[in-house]
Structure formats: structure tokens, C-alpha cells
Amino acid sequence: GAVVSQHPSWVICKSGTSVKIECRSLDFQATTMFWYRQFPKQSLMLMATSNEGSKATYEQGVEKDKFLINHASLTLSTLTVTSAHPEDSSFYICSAKEYGGNQPQHFGDGTRLSIL
């Protein structure tokens, strides 16, 4: 089946640092990738949608300058949390899908980010 690799799985860092999270589709070409944030015991909150080679589309309320998304190839997207603060601590999870409306999103294993 389709595999999406997300790295790192767990990050602890100091307030003010920037953190980059990678999302790779290992065995398929991901025309679209998504970045979600999930708070404990809640559903996934879509942050942004990115299509390969174009700028990401951010959901309302998500700061573009805070959460930088790059989707430079059909197999790699990155999310950079810039100048992270404790309120940015969360579970971040990416997904990727092939072209086609009936294709499912395949998710990475997520990244637990803790800002101290």
C-alpha cells in the first residue's frame, strides 16, 4: 500500500527556534500534500494544502509566515514552524494523495512537537 514517511516523529526544542518537519511519499507521486494539526482528543485541523510546484493554500486563521510550507517535488513536502513558542506545541501530521478525486489521503505517522 501507499506509504508516507514523516520525520522526525518527536521534537523537543527551546522557544524561539525553528523546526522543520519532512513528509515524503515513498512509493507514489503525491500531487497534493496536506498538513494538519491535532490537539489531544480532538479531530484533525487542516492547516494548509500544497500542490507540487505551487504555493500552499492556507486555511483561515493559519499564519503563513509562521508555518512555512514547501512542496518542491512530487514526493516531498516540508513544514517549518518558525520561531516556535510553547503554544505551537502540538501533534502535526501530514498526508499525501495521488491525482484523482477518489484517491484517499495517506498519512504519515505524525510529529509530536514540544516547545519548552
Partner 1 sequence: AQKITQTQPGMFVQEKEAVTLDCTYDTSDPSYGLFWYKQPSSGEMIFLIYQGSYDQQNATEGRYSLNFQKARKSANLVISASQLGDSAMYFCAMREALYGGATNKLIFGTGTLLAVQP
- Would you give the DSSP letter of residue 87? G
Please choose, from the candidates 79, 75, 91, the residue with its C-alpha nearest in 3D space to the C-alpha of residue 4: 75
Nearest approach in angstroms of CB 112 to partner 1 is 7
Question: Contacting partner 1 (CB under 8 A), which of 25, 77, 108, 115?
Answer: 108
Per-residue contact track with partner 1, 65 to 94, x per CB under 8 A?
--------------------------x-x-
- Count CB atoms within 10 A of the CB of residue 62: 17
Under DSSP, is residue 63 helix (H, G, I), strand (E, B) or coil? Answer: coil
Contact call for residue 24 and partner 1 (CB under 8 A): no
Question: Contacting partner 1 (CB under 8 A), which of 23, 97, 113, 115?
Answer: 97
Residues near partner 1 (CB under 8 A) are: 32, 34, 42-44, 46, 49, 91, 93, 95, 97, 101-102, 104-110, 112
